[in-house]
Structures are given as C-alpha cells and as structure tokens.
Amino acid sequence: MLEALHVCLEIDAPPGSEEESLHLLREVHFQLPSGHLMAIVGPSGCGKTTLLKVIAGITEQTDGSLKWEGRDLKEEEDLHPGELGYVPQFSVAHDLLTVEECIANSMALRTQLPGTEDFEPKLDKILATTGLTDLADRRIKVLSGGQKRRLGLALELVTNPCLLLCDEVTSGLDPKSEAEITELLRLLARENPRRVVINVTHSLASLEAFDSVLVMYQGRLVFHGPPKLLTHYFSVQHPEEVYLRLTQREAQGWHESWQKKREYYEQMLFEKTAESPQPASSEAENSMTHEAVAPEELPSLMSQVFTLLNRRWTIFRRDKGQVWLHLAMLLGFPLLVVIFALDGIKPLKQLSQRQDSNVVFEMQQKAQHQIDQLNAGGLVSGLIMLQVVLVTLMASNNAAREIAGERLILEREKLGGLSTTAYIISKVLFLGVFVLAQSIWMGIFVDMITGGLPGDLIIKLALLILVSAAMTSICLGISGLCRTPEKATILSIYLVGFQLPLSGAVLSLPDWIEGAVNPFIAAFWAWSGSLRSMSDTAFYDAVKKVTETSLVSPELAAFVLIAHVIIGLSMAYVGSKSSQWE
C-alpha cells in the first residue's frame, strides 16, 4: 500500500514576488492499495508532475510523509532502486541505439542478470510484454511517440518494480495509441500483486481503464475516487468538463469540500478493490512476488563502468558526423601547425646546434644572426602555443556536451541505481583515448615535419597530454554543472578563447594581473613548461628575447595541470551527482 499523509511542498518565491514562499503542494492525502492503477489529472501547472516527483523521491516534501507498506520513506529506509520504476515524459534513450540494446543496457546497469541463463528469457519477456518484439532491432530515433513510451516502460520493467510511476506517457498520442498504453498500464498493475501504478495525464479520454482518479487543482487534492463517480462529484455530464468546472471555485473551497466527503469516497474505493476478482495464484506469479520482495541486486561498480563504456563507444561509432569531425581535427590541426612552420624551418635548422661560446659570440657580433635568432625564437614560441591551443580546442570539443547532452538519461539511470562514480570513470576512460591520441599525434607529427623542435620530446609530449587532460576535465566539469548542452558548449568555447590572449605568449600581461590569471590558464603552463625545457639549447636565449612572460619549470607546469585535472573531475562528479530534472 502507498500512503500520502498530508504531503506539502513549499519553495522560496522568486525575487520580486509579493509572497515569501510558494506552495506547490498543500495537504495531499490519499491511500492506494496494492494491485492498483491510478491516474493523476488536473489543469496544467496544478502540481501533477510535482506530486509524482515527490513520490519518486526526486523532490523531498517539506511537510507530511509518504509510506510504502507502512515504511516511512523519509524517516526510514528508502525504496531500493529495484522497487521503483519512474518513466519521465521525455525520451530516455540514446537515439543511435536499438530497442533491444537499450533494454539490455538497462538490465546490465540495474541487475546482475547479464551473463546468466536468465538474461535472454527476461529480455524477450519484457519485449513481448511491452509490444516491442518486432521493433527490437530498430533504432530509437525512428520510433514513434507511442513506441518510445512503450520503451520507457520496458526500461523500468527490468527490475520488476512494485511502484511504477509514469509521467505523461500517453500525452501527444493518437486515441488508439493512448488506449493501448493505458491498457498496458492496467495489465502491469495486475501482473504483480504488490504493484501500484500511477500515471500522470492531462487527457481525460481513457479514465474508465483506471481503478481510481486523483484530481489536482492549484497544488491541492480535490478528488480521489472511482472514475465513474468523477462526473457525479463535479456535477458535469462528461469528464472533459471537469477542468472548466474547477475554475468556478477557489482551490481552497474545492479542497475543503473534498475533506468533508473524502472518507466516503475512499471507503468505496477500497470496497471496490476488495471485490475485484484477482487472478489465480500460480508458480510464475509467486516467483514474481518473491522478486518484488527481494529486488535484484545492483551490479558492481566496474560492471556498470564497462557497460557505460561499451555503450558510449557504440554510440560514437554510429555517429558518423562525430567520427569524421574527430578525424578531421586529428589530421588537420597538426597540418595547420606545420603550415605556419614552413617558412621558419630554415632558421630553425640553422640554430639547431647546441649553444657554445663561439656561437654566442657570433650572435652578439652579427646583426643577421640576431635577426635569425629573433625569428627562430618567435617561431618556436608560436609553434608551441599553436599546438597547445589546438589541443585545448579539441579537448573542449570532446567534453563540452558529454554529460549535458545526456543529462536526462543520466538522471533516470541514477534513480535506477547507477553509481555516479562509475559514470565519471566511464567518461574518463572514454575521453582518455582522445586525449592521448590527439596530443601524442600532434607532438610527434609536428616534430617529424619540422625536423625536430628544440627541447626534450618526451617532456613536450607529456605537457601536451596534461594540458589536453586538464582542458578535457574542466570542460567535462562544465558539462556536468550545466543543464543544457548548448550552455556547456558556449562556456567551453569561451574558456578556450581566453587561453591564447591570457597566456602571455603573444602580449605580456601586467605583473599584478599575470600572477592572478596564470593559475587558471592551462595553456600558459603547457607553453611555458615546454619552452623552459629548452634551457640547455641555443633556442632558449632566442625564446627569451621574444618572451617577456616568466617561464616556469616543466615539473611545476605538470603539477598545476594535474591540479586542473583533479578540479575538473571534481566539478564533473559534483555536477553529475546533483539532481537536474526538468
């Protein structure tokens, strides 16, 4: 049984409002027996979805209590992820996966069935129950609205939940599809003797299929009873007239009227439930009931990591646009660096010898050598910075949308038991491949074509890898903290855009600004550390002549970039763990 006892939800009013707080829910009180299907209806903005999120535990009520089978869900142990199924009104699957892959992934993230003999039979049963067997190999992006609603239900049935909450799963559907989804909900409510199914809906067309209807108005419960009594209670001819009828009285008046009659209607509701014929008990049903009492154990952290990683690579391989974009950047950006280096290869080779007293003397005496030295120093500094900036640009492209682009899917999977730690580890492993490939290829290719830039190649590669990892982590953190991929992308682009002018590679900043800005500019540390690694070559004096910014040691640069990585991943973890439901 599910009980809502005087549930209230109050939030702070927006700035400028005359009221100090807003009451989204007021004194919501009802009881639902097991094996029950209830519809929550009401005008837009009346609190239907808010109430569903409070029941699901997404939003915590400010007063009152929710009880499941006598257990207070706020004060005592919360529902196990396997006991709860939540179907949001938006699509909850990746467009490039197939129906079967989505359900299999959900099973792998929420159960320990993969690899056992029970996996395939249960997968086939879920497909059959939701009418998706013939669509198993079809990609999500080509499904109709009704088919996506069925998929949303299928993803929650992998744990056989005893509390199934659906938000507008019938909205926007044609009458036939709406009737089919409603009938499916009814079957699901009857399938498990302990199950309660609640569906938020704006439509009043298929209410006769529900066991009860709960009407919300301006955050208040104003009716809860059998569908056939809805028109009688509100004194209307058809259910569609209920919304208009609600506007003829204040919400407080409707609520007070309901409080006087609530006991009578709820008594009728429970009598109706007790009289309803129950299907004969069978071994299969007993097994299903046992599963509901003892929910599926969640998989291990590393099992979730590998499931997420395999899914992410599958999506990447199928996104041809992203594949070609990454290849274009991987091959094109190093070529861009080389193009800028072509005219300077000759002076680079002329100064490629190690510094000695004769060379220094000649440079000091001959103007041409001084000009070559300035040209070589400017070229080396510019080439290093160009590599760094292009690597950070690739890093931004890799990570900016990585979390924000699948935010709503993440929220649903967290509710189902996905570990935030497993999620972040999977992102690190996935993006780490791009970090290594892009930065190593950039450094080696440019070094080969130019005949070898001065300094230790290993140090330069290490700093390129670290600056790529730093920018990837920071942009991943931005993606985790942002609600939309568009916002995350814009902020990441701005971050990369500031790298060059604030690094000090082109123009030196005033000392008092330089000290305050440098710690936050990843490009500065990679560029500065790479130039400092040339200190035992003839180029170091050349670089110093064209660089007014203070250079730091490679060790210090590496330390700061590692700090950037840690900060970025911490931001990503905090952002991913925090709830950002719509």
HEC string for 300-332: CHHHHHHHHHHHHHHHHHHCHHHHHHHHHHHHH
CA torsion sign for 162, 308, 570, 412 is negative
Render pLDDT for 202-258 as a digit per residue (tens, 0 to 9): 888 789 889 999 999 999 999 999 999 999 999 999 988 999 999 999 999 999 999
Q: Give the domain CATH number at 251.
A: 3.40.50.300
**Distance between CA atoms of residues 22 and 1, nearest Å:** 30
Within a domain: residue 79? no
Please indicate, yes or no, whether residues 70 and 204 belong to a single structural domain of this protein: yes
**Distance between CA atoms of residues 132 and 150, nearest Å:** 7
Q: How many CA atoms lie within 13 A of 221 on its CB side?
A: 25
End-of-domain residue from the set 108, 131, 160 = 160
Please indicate, yes or no, whether residues 204 and 317 belong to a single structural domain of this protein: no
Q: Is the pLDDT of residue 184 over 60?
A: yes
Within a domain: residue 215? yes
Please indicate, yes or no, whether residues 90 and 201 belong to a single structural domain of this protein: no
End-of-domain residue from the set 268, 293, 318 = 293
Please indicate, yes or no, whether residues 517 and 431 belong to a single structural domain of this protein: yes
**Distance between CA atoms of residues 481 and 286, nearest Å:** 45
Please indicate, yes or no, whether residues 210 and 358 belong to a single structural domain of this protein: no
Within a domain: residue 166? no
End-of-domain residue from the set 293, 311, 330 = 293
Q: How many CA atoms lie within 13 A of 176 on its CB side?
A: 1
HEC string for 332-358: HHHHHHHHHHHHHHHHHHHCCCCCCHH
Greatest alpha-carbon pair distance for the chain in Å reads: 108
**By the 8 A CB rule, do 214 and 196 touch?**
no
The pLDDT assigned to 535 comes to 79
Please indicate, yes or no, whether residues 421 and 514 belong to a single structural domain of this protein: yes
Cα 485 to chain centroid, rounded = 10
Within a domain: residue 167? no
H-helix segments, 366-449? 367-399, 407-415, 420-449
Residue found by looking up tokens 């950047």 in the block: 329
Please indicate, yes or no, whether residues 372 and 461 belong to a single structural domain of this protein: yes
Q: Is the pLDDT of residue 9 over 80?
A: yes
Please indicate, yes or no, whether residues 365 and 456 belong to a single structural domain of this protein: yes
Render pLDDT for 502-557 as a digit per residue (tens, 0 to 9): 887 766 767 777 778 888 999 999 988 988 888 777 667 666 766 767 788 999 99
Within a domain: residue 169? no
Domain count, the chain: 3
Q: Kindly state the DSSP code that residue 534 receives in the 8-state scheme.
A: T
**By the 8 A CB rule, do 480 and 577 touch?**
no
Please indicate, yes or no, whether residues 209 and 144 belong to a single structural domain of this protein: no
Render pLDDT for 268-298 as a digit per residue (tens, 0 to 9): 777 666 555 554 444 434 443 434 456 678 9
**Distance between CA atoms of residues 519 and 514, nearest Å:** 9
Render pLDDT for 64-115 as a digit per residue (tens, 0 to 9): 999 998 888 877 777 888 899 999 887 789 999 999 999 999 999 999 999 9
Please indicate, yes or no, whether residues 106 and 238 belong to a single structural domain of this protein: no
Within a domain: residue 168? no
Q: How many CA atoms lie within 13 A of 302 on its CB side?
A: 0
Please indicate, yes or no, whether residues 427 and 508 belong to a single structural domain of this protein: yes
**Residue whose C-alpha is closest to residue 564's, from 466, 459, 439, 430:** 466
Within a domain: residue 284? yes
Please indicate, yes or no, whether residues 285 and 320 belong to a single structural domain of this protein: no
Q: Is the pLDDT of residue 567 over 80?
A: yes
The pLDDT assigned to 71 comes to 86
**Residue whose C-alpha is closest to residue 158's, from 95, 83, 96, 94:** 83
**Distance between CA atoms of residues 314 and 18, nearest Å:** 52
Within a domain: residue 582? no
Range of the domain at 117: 84-160
**Distance between CA atoms of residues 491 and 245, nearest Å:** 48
Tokens for 500, please give them: 């060059």
Higher pLDDT among residues 100 and 374, named by residue: 100
Distances, alpha carbon 506 to alpha carbons 272, 384, 527, 552, in Å? 80, 12, 12, 17
